[in-house]
Structures are given as structure tokens and as C-alpha cells.
Structure 1
Amino acid sequence: MNNIRLIATIVAKENHENEVVSACKAMVKPSHKDEGCIQYEFHKDTTQPRTFIFFEIWKDQNAIDKHNETEHMKAFVENLKDKIELLDIKFIEKLA
């Protein structure tokens, strides 16, 4: 079975960029410890200053489901709910 890859794009509301960056950076270390996490990276878009991207690889859907139920994920979602304009998650497949 193939691993599951996803890209989560977050657009911060104006004047909330620093708070969003801090919250996102704080997710990386605990998420790496989640069972089934293969890769969990946080990036910024170099052309759109309020846009940030997580690139993630998970063992399977069960690992993602467990990650979504962790205390650090629940706190992350709660912390960002009034600070972001967009959260877009795309599941992707490596072709080459």
C-alpha cells in the first residue's frame, strides 16, 4: 500500500502572520512523534507572504485519523480558527 501524501495550505489573515507561523512551527516536533508520520514539513510561499504550506507523508489513513485526534492538533485548530482565511488540504500522489 502506498503512503498518503498531502499538502495543507494555510492563508493567514492580515496582521496574524506571526501568530500563524508560531502555531505552525509548534506542530512540527509533536507531529513527527505521531505514529505513522513519515514526513511533516512546514514551508512558506515565497511569492505570497501570508501563505504557508505543510507537506506531509503518512503511513496510511489510520495514522492521519489518529494525528487529527491528538491534543496538539486539537489545540492547533482551536488556536488558528480566527487567524486564518483559508485552510486547503490536497491529497496528492507521486507519479515520478
Structure 2
Amino acid sequence: MYLAVSAGDKARYANPPGDKQDGTRRIAEISAGGEVAANTLNQFSAANRRRREICIMTITALVIFEVKAGLTTALEAAMNTLLEATRNDTGFVRCDRYRDTQDPTRYVFHEVWDSKALLDEHLRTAHVACFLRTIMPLLDGKDVRILQGF
């Protein structure tokens, strides 16, 4: 039996507290251990159910920025400033930032919020208004999608 897990899951589920073993080796040992393997699979299943429940209950904002050539550093600085302020907003769950590997002028914000109402509240804050004033001259375009899991 093999378990496909992320590095974070390896750290969380495969290595018991105080265990300094490599996560991959530990999972192989667990997989060969019968009852322990079943318990580990139950932990993974429970974690996946929790992730699924969170996905259904939350709102995701997917924002794609097309920045003008030569202005990527300014956009990254503005994104970092916004994220620092946003972490304190009510309803903020997380924000992942990406830069396109094929097009270095394309950036993606992947934000997760507790509700659409709290996302809307965030969009009315002073730090979002400041961010938009700062980045609009830097952009060739942007696309915003608000998504909900199902």
C-alpha cells in the first residue's frame, strides 16, 4: 500500500512528535504495519474531509494581474504590502501568490475567505483602495473571479 501525500502532510501525519525520521521512510514503515497503516489512512481521510468541508464553506478570490514589462518589482512590493495588512482582516483564511512560469509578467492572487460578505468588507478597506491606486498604472490588465466550492 502506498500513500501519496504532500510534504506538509508527511510532517503532520507521518512523523510522530519527536520522530526525526524522513517522512517518506516513515510512511513506508507505517504502510507495512497493518493496523498502524489503517489508522494513518483514517487520519488522512479525516483531514481530507475537513479540507473538503472548508472548501465548500469558503469563498475563493482568484485575481490575475498582467503587469507592464519592467514593473514586476513594484507590483510584488505592492502585493506584499497588501498581504501584510490583509492578514488582520476579519474572515481572511489565506492568500497564495504565484508568478506564471511561462509569462513572468503574469501574477495570480489566490485568496480564501470565510464568506462573500467578509470578502466584500475587505474590498472596501483603505489598504485595498491604496493597493488599487498603486497598481493600476502598473497593469496591462487584470481578471477577477470569485469562486465557491461545491
Judge conservation of contact 1:31–1:40 (CA < 8 Å) in 2. Answer: no
**Larger relative strand fraction:** 1
Gapped runs of 5+ residues in structure 1?
A: none
Greater C-alpha Rg: 2
RMSD: 1.5
One-letter amino acid of the structure 2 residue matched with residue 16 of structure 1: L
For the pair 1:8 / 2:8, whether they are aligned, the reply is no
Q: Is the 8 A contact 1:6 1:56 kept in 2?
A: yes
1-side partners of 2:66 and 2:93: how far apart?
25
- 1:64 matched residue in structure 2: 119
Letter aligned with residue 69 of structure 1: R
TM-score relative to the length of structure 1: 0.89
SS in structure 1 opposite 2:95?
Answer: strand
| Deviating 4+ runs (over 4 angstroms) | none
Deviation track 1:7-63 (CA, whole Å, cap 9, x = no partner) reads: 101010112111111111111121111000111122211111001111111111111
- Report if the CA contact (8 A) 2:57-2:149 is conserved: no
Report % sequence identity.
Answer: 18
Q: 76, 87, 102: which one pairs with 1:21?
A: 76
